[in-house]
Amino acid sequence: MKKKMINLSVMLLVIAVLLIGCVQQESTQGGKTSNDNKIVVGFSLGTIKEERWQREIEMAKKFAKEHNFELVVQSAEEDASKQVKQVENMVTQGIDVLIISAQDSESAGAVVDIAHRAGVPVIAYDRLVRNGDLDYYVTFDTVKVGELQAQGLVQKYPKGNYIWLLGGPEDFNAYLLKEGQEKVLKPLIQKGDIKIVTQQWCKGWSPEEALKHTENGLTAANNNVVAVLASNDNTAGGAVQALEAQGLAGKVGVSGQDADLAAVQRIVEGKQTMTIYKPIKVLNQKVMELAYALAKGEKEKVNSMVNGKVNNGTKDVPSVVVDVVNVTKENVVDTVIKDGFHKIEDVYKNIPKNEWPKQ
Ligand code: BGC
């Protein structure tokens, strides 16, 4: 019995020595606990109003979980100064890399300075941060999105009066879209084939603004309008609402982007002409891989991901550019449904089952 007691005490002593050893080992690493060594990535979003952003948060969380790092997500609820404060906080709490989708492209340059002072690299996500020493930009080709939107409409409506709804003036993407849209529309306007009844910005990409501008455009043209060039699906939704009130939904062309479920439903119902499917799964995977590689200091991996550059007013920002897909009634099944972005039963929810296409 006594011998057993001695054995037990020796065992306890050994365990205690081992434990102290572990604690000492941690404290020799510059006072960091093992938790401090875990990678932390900050993900700051200007808005989560559109369906896409909410999906992207879920994707980012999944990636972080699978790769065992911490992800801090915050949305500024369309308040640019709140976004700066949120980032300041994230940086103080300690992050290794910042991913930002800016609410206001111009004022977000301040965010880059804040992060850099703490040695944190910054990746702009989808929305460019202008006028700052931005490190990387992961994006779709937004000028091309604008071109495809305009092309989608002029192919079907080559002549007549157009209502032109631009995106949120606070978001640089809205200007890039305009640039792409102009490439297609300008020659037709100059030829006299297309007349712009009204061209309006939709602050905050708001569907309410889009509704109001479409109503005003319809009134000004006595309802003689062939198409509404809307810069995203949310604003397209506002435009379709205004058209519905005049019995014009389905008769007037409407563009969009994001392939939101509501928009794809409108497409198969014939109320919206097209949208752009931006594979956000790919975009999100790219940004998370880039952030993770940056946090781990894997320079070669980072460099191998860069496939372009975009000028942000200060410099040519090394960029990762992802391609986009045009979606119409004809190719819904082969694009968004085939890619698992939406389910056929959701897209065709309002269409009798015997009219559903074969998959
Ligand atoms: C994005 C669009 C989105 C819009 C509103 C733009 O910067 O590129 O996909 O619809 O913001 O959130």
**pLDDT tops 70 at residue 88:** yes
Q: Is the pLDDT of residue 28 over 50?
A: no
Which residues have C-beta within 8 Å of that of residue 344, sequence separation ≥ 6?
A: 333, 337, 356, 359
Pair of tokens at residue 337: 């449904």
In terms of CATH architecture, what is 40-140+280-322? 3-Layer(aba) Sandwich (3.40)
Q: Is the CB of 50 under 6 A from ligand 1?
A: yes
Output the pLDDT for position 25: 34
Ligand 1 centre from 113 Cα, in Å?
Answer: 24
Please report the pLDDT score of residue 37 as a whole number: 82
Tokens 């269409």 identify what position? 351
Cα radius of gyration rounded to whole Å, the chain: 26
**What's the rounded mean pLDDT across residues 323-344?**
97
Quote the ligand 1 centre to 26 CA distance (angstroms): 45
What is the average pLDDT across 342-351?
A: 97
Residue 234 CA, ligand 1 centroid: distance in Å: 9
Closest atom of ligand 1 to 232 CA is 10
Residue range 186-233, pLDDT digits in tens: 999 999 999 999 999 999 999 999 999 999 999 999 999 999 999 999
Mutation test residue for ligand 1: of 100, 170, 258, 282, the one with most atoms within 8 Å of CB: 258
Lowest-confidence segment of 14-23, 163-172, 209-218 by average pLDDT: 14-23
Ligand 1 contact, 51 CB (< 6 A): no
Q: Which of 205, 255, 327 to mutate to test the pocket of ligand 1 (most atoms within 8 A of CB)?
A: 205
The reported pLDDT for the residue numbered 7 is 56
Q: Check pocket membership of 258 for ligand 1, CB cut-off 6 A.
A: yes
Distance of CA 158 to the CA centre of its chain: 31
On the question of pLDDT at 329 being above 50, the answer is yes
pLDDT of res. 358: 81
- Looking at residue 221, the DSSP 8-state letter turns out to be T
pLDDT for the residue numbered 297? 97
- Tell me what the mean pLDDT of segment 301-321 comes to: 97
> Which among 57, 110, 114 has a CA at the least distance from the CA of 89?
114
Q: Do domains 40-140+280-322 and 143-278+326-355 have the same CATH topology?
A: yes
- For the CA of 46, the nearest atom of ligand 1: 12
pLDDT at 182 over 60: yes
| 171 CA: nearest ligand 1 atom | 7
**Can you give the pLDDT at residue 186?**
98
Query: 186 CB contacts (<8 Å, ≥6 apart)?
Result: none
Beta-ladder partners of 160: 194
Helix, strand, or coil (residue 48)? coil
Check residue 11 and give its pLDDT. Answer: 52
Whether residue 104 has its Cβ less than 6 Å from ligand 1:
no
CA of 20 to the centre of ligand 1 (A): 53
pLDDT > 70? residue 4: no
Task: Look up the pTM and report it.
Answer: 0.88
The reply to whether CATH 3.40.50.2300 applies to domain 143-278+326-355 is yes
Average of pLDDT values for 252-262? 98
Of all atoms in ligand 1, which is nearest to the CA of residue 231? Answer: 10
Question: Which whole number is the average pLDDT over 124-131?
Answer: 96
Q: pLDDT at residue 106 above 70?
A: yes
**Which residue bears the tokens 């990762």?**
320
Measuring from atom 12 of ligand 1, which residue has the nearest CA? 50
In this prediction, residues 48-75 reach a mean pLDDT of: 97
DSSP H or E stretch at residue 6: helix 2-28
Per domain, the residue ranges of the chain are: 40-140+280-322, 143-278+326-355
Cα–Cα nearest to 282, from 340, 230, 205? 340
88 lines ligand 1 (CB under 6 A): no
Name the token pair of 195: 């007349």
Among 308, 264, 271, residue whose Cα is nearest residue 286: 308
